[in-house]
Amino acid sequence: MNGTLPWLTEAQALPPPEQAWPGDSPAPGLLAAGGGLSVQRLLEAYAQGCFPWFSEGQPVLWWSPDPRMVLPTAGFRLHRSLRKTLQRFRATEGCELRVDSDFPAVIRACARAPRAGQAGTWIVPEMVQAYERLHAAGHAHSVETWVDGSLVGGLYCVAIGRAVFGESMFAHATDASKIALAALVAIARRGGVELIDCQQNTRHLASLGAREVPRAEFLCHVAAARTEEPPAWRFAPQDWEAVLGAPAASPARPPGA
């Protein structure tokens, strides 16, 4: 690192991810600043494994951490308590999982959600507007937990082909965000998505099966996955089988019963 952070105009391309500041720098993974948040810019960034992350009053900052936290969909850990929660949610009238039903409400709820150790949010109004444009372009999606007609939890993500990048989640009811994450894994498994990007390492994500991989390995995955046919961004009740397994068949009635 030479200490100089590239400042981009809207016309300049992002530097290669390998030029991000290293782990022993003041801001590991920081790649560049500026350049705006147009749909084209966001697609350029995610296609090379970069993402924006900045606070109110800061310029747009672009990041490419090494290592990268990812959740292999085949390795998603469905703990006993979460399995019971999903089974109860699936069987309860008024409980519903929706996709892209109210993306603006989801991203705004994520922006308001408290974060441990953070006084504010990185989902500033500029980011909200940018991801709403990306959603309108078909590359940002919300997975939503609804109970009795009310949105109680959810998450949003970015998707280019089969490259899926988790962004943020919120919960207004116990386990509502975990239900949405399990549904995202179901959508991903059904659609042949192998990894969900988690960006940063957290204990919670690790408990669910996420792990760190070298940036070079992650970039190879993105390069291949973004050219593949995307999953179908919808959810039906039977899709829970992708994480829970098929429900047990009812026992056959004996003849004459």
Q: What is the CATH number of the domain that holds 214?
A: 3.40.630.70
Domain boundary among 46, 66, 86: 66
Nearest to 187 by CA among 146, 229, 231, 142: 231
**155 with 56, same domain?**
no
Flag whether 2 is in a domain. Answer: no
Q: What is the pLDDT of residue 1?
A: 44
Q: What is the pLDDT of residue 256?
A: 43
Domain boundary among 66, 87, 107: 66
Nearest to 180 by CA among 114, 101, 117, 247: 101
CA distances from 257 to 109, 168, 249, 252, 253 (A): 53, 53, 18, 10, 6
**112 with 154, same domain?**
yes
Flag whether 253 is in a domain. Answer: no
- Per the structure, the complete domain to which residue 196 belongs is given by 69-245
Q: What is the pLDDT of residues 114-124, one digit of tens each?
A: 655 444 578 99
Average pLDDT, the chain: 93
The pTM for the full model equals 0.92
Flag whether 177 is in a domain. Answer: yes
**174 with 104, same domain?**
yes
**117 with 13, same domain?**
no
**163 with 201, same domain?**
yes
State how far the Cα of 101 lies from the Cα of 108, in Å rounded to an integer: 14
Q: What is the dihedral of CA 200, 59, 103, 134, to 10 degrees?
A: -100
**CB burial of residue 99 (10 Å; 0-12, 13-18, 19+):** buried
State how far the Cα of 151 lies from the Cα of 153, in Å rounded to an integer: 6
61: part of which helix (H) or strand (E)? strand 61-63
Angle ∠(189,63,68) on CA atoms, nearest 5? 40
Q: What is the CATH number of the domain that holds 15?
A: 3.30.70.3550
Flag whether 255 is in a domain. Answer: no
Per the structure, the count of domains in the chain is 2
Tokens 């109680």 belong to 152
Flag whether 131 is in a domain. Answer: yes
Q: What is the pLDDT of residue 251?
A: 44
Nearest to 201 by CA among 209, 190, 193: 209
Residue 200 has pLDDT above 90, yes or no: no
